[in-house]
């Protein structure tokens, strides 16, 4: 066996401080490949005993050139990249992106597509919150809760795979519609899964809600006030856990949210426990919304009849020259998006997911920028870590739900 080579590795980051406030403070490095933080994040913390005095958070370990890559693809071809932003809920990314392009093109989607997108957004939100709650509970040692939650998430994944063909990265949205309609029996299985979800989630409530260890680890840990949260740009469940009922689905309703009956759950303290509970309650609201949407779902086409963005039917491509050319141009050159710029946002599971697009006409975006909630949260997360114990970094990071793909892009 050869001894480890001395490889003299370069350090990709430069810490903001070499020592703590006092001389005897210890500076520890956590991450970027640390088992207990989900996602690749590096935290450099100056400690006073066990207490965290100062932290320096580094992200970017998953920066894979998303924006540059998107500016090199046509409006349709870049949809797979969009999936991999927040990979826990790829469908919401798809729909948020498609909405931005449709706004630029002035396309109005069909009613069935609108309701279906709403339904799938909420379904995706359940999967995302399940992942977040499962991972953060596992990091606290609650393995049983993790296994229950991943079990129900796997039902959702397999069910979505039946619809979209993939378990995690769906690429299901299209500019002006969706990739395909629901298969037979999909809604019946949806009902079954929602019923099973309720059984499983009741067990989680039983295991966790009044669990002494869980409460001790999360109550009054990582507290932030509503004013602070807004100053640091927090949106989504973190902002709502502070008591501010800010939710784009209610405030600026998009898709079919204006027609739905739902509540915006809020917390009281803005601590880890509240963030856990807000997520659990949001899943219940999502189930409630999905049940309404199944009843409301109209029949009809799922794609708009607009040759600028919708592919012609395959049968027509084979039989008539106009459709063949249309198909070829859409695939090779991309949809013709008029010049302009747009910012639209949707309420993703982590907060406001905004797309800022600049088009100069033609098939590719000129500028493609994502306002990702996780990245903004990382800018303010030191407020949740400083002043608490070293061990509290783990539950706090779990409850913030930093997603690498979305944060670093």
Partner 1 sequence: MSTAIRDQIQRELVPEGGVASLSHGTLVLEIPAGEVQRTARRLASEFGFDLFLDVTAVDWPGRTPRFDVVYHFYSTAHFFRVRLKTRLSEADPVVDSLVSLYGSAGFMERECHEMYGIGFRGNPDLRPILLYEGFVGHPLRKDYPKLKEQPLVPYRK
Partner 2 sequence: MARTTIPIVPSTARSPAFEYFSTKKDEFVGWARKFSLFPYPFVTACCAMEFMAVSSTPYDTDRFGAALPRFSPRQSDLLMVVGTLTHKQAPVLLRVYEQMCEPKWVMAFGACATSGGFYQNYAAVAGIDKIIPVDIYVPGCPPRPETVIDAIMKLQDRIAGSHHPIITANF
Tell me which residues touch partner 1 (CB under 8 A): 9-14, 16, 58-60, 63, 65, 67-69, 72, 103-104, 230-233, 235, 244, 246, 251-252, 340-345, 352, 354, 356, 358, 366-367, 369, 371, 375-376, 378-380, 383, 408-409
Site string for partner 2, 153-192 (x = CB under 8 A): xx--x---------xxx-----------------------
What is the distance between the alpha carbons of residues 409 and 394, in angstroms, rounded to a whole number? Answer: 23
Q: Which does 176 bind (CB under 5 to 8 A by kind): partner 2, partner 1, none?
A: none
Q: At CA 362, angle to CA 373 and CA 105, rounded to 5?
A: 60
The structure tokens listed for 77 are: 């071809």
Interaction of residue 365 with partner 2, rule CB under 8 A: no
Instruction: For residue 261, report the phi and psi dihedrals to the nearest 5 degrees.
Output: -100, 115
Structure tokens at 338: 């008029």
Cα 79 to Cα 86: distance, rounded to the nearest angstrom: 13
- Contact segment (CB under 8 A) with partner 2 among 5-13, 264-272, 339-347, 349-357 equals 5-13
Nearer to partner 2, 65 or 338 (CB): 65
CA-to-CA distance for 156 and 158, rounded, in angstroms? Answer: 6
Output 30 or 107, the one with its CB closest to partner 2. Answer: 30
All residues at 6 or more sequence positions from 195 whose CB lies less than 8 Å from its CB, including other chains: none
Task: Confirm if 79 and 257 have CB atoms less than 8 A apart.
Answer: no
Q: Which does 343 bind (CB under 5 to 8 A by kind): partner 2, partner 1, none?
A: partner 1
Residue with Cβ nearer partner 2 (106 or 154): 154
Q: Which does 103 bind (CB under 5 to 8 A by kind): partner 1, partner 2, none?
A: partner 1
Closest CB 126 distance from partner 2, rounded Å: 14
Tracing tokens 């892009």 back to the chain, one arrives at: 409
Report 20-39 residues binding partner 2 (CB under 8 A): 32-33, 35-36, 38
Site of tokens 């005095």? 53
370 within 8 A of 397, measured Cβ to Cβ: no
Q: Which of 397, 408, 389, 402 is nearest to 28 (CA)?
A: 389
- Residues in contact with partner 2 by CB under 8 A are 1-2, 4-5, 7, 9-12, 32-33, 35-36, 38, 40, 60-65, 68-69, 80-81, 84, 87-88, 131, 134-135, 146-147, 150-151, 153-154, 157, 167-169, 404-405
């Amino acid at each position: 066996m050869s001894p480890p080579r001395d490889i003299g590795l370069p350090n990709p980051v430069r810490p903001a401080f070499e020592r703590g406030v006092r001389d005897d403070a210890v500076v520890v490095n956590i991450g970027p490949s640390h088992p207990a933080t989900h996602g690749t994040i590096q935290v450099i913390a100056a400690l006073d005993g066990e207490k965290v005095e100062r932290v320096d958070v580094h992200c970017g370990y998953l920066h894979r050139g998303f924006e540059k890559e998107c500016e090199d693809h046509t409006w349709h071809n870049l949809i797979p990249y969009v999936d991999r932003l927040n990979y826990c809920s790829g469908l919401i990314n798809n729909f948020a992106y498609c909405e931005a392009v449709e706004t630029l093109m002035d396309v109005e989607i069909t009613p069935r597509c609108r309701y279906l997108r709403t339904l799938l957004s909420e379904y995706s939100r359940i999967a995302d919150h399940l992942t977040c709650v499962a991972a953060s509970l596992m990091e606290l040692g609650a393995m049983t809760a993790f296994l229950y939650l991943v079990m129900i998430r796997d039902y959702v994944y397999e069910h979505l795979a039946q619809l979209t063909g993939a378990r995690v990265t769906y690429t299901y949205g299209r500019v002006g519609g969706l990739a395909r309609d629901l298969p037979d029996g999909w809604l019946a299985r949806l009902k079954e899964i929602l019923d099973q979800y309720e059984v499983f989630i009741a067990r989680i409530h039983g295991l966790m809600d009044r669990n002494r260890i869980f409460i001790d680890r999360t109550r009054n840990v990582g507290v932030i006030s509503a004013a602070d949260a807004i100053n640091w740009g927090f949106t989504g469940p973190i902002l709502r856990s502070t008591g501010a009922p800010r939710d784009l689905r209610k405030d600026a309703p998009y898709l079919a949210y204006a027609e739905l009956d739902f509540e915006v759950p809020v917390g009281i303290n803005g601590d880890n426990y509240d963030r856990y509970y807000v997520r659990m309650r949001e899943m219940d609201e999502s189930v409630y919304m999905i049940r309404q949407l199944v009843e409301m779902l109209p029949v009809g086409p799922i794609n708009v009849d607009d040759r600028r963005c919708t592919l012609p039917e395959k049968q027509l491509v084979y039989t008539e020259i106009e459709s063949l050319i249309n198909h070829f141009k859409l695939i090779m050159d991309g949809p013709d998006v008029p010049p302009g710029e747009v910012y639209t946002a949707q309420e993703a599971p982590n907060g406001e997911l905004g797309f800022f697009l600049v088009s100069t006409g033609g098939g590719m975006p000129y500028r493609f920028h994502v306002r990702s909630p996780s990245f903004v949260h990382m800018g303010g997360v030191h407020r949740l870590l400083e002043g608490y114990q070293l061990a509290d970094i783990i539950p706090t990071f779990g409850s913030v739900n930093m997603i690498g793909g979305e944060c670093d892009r």
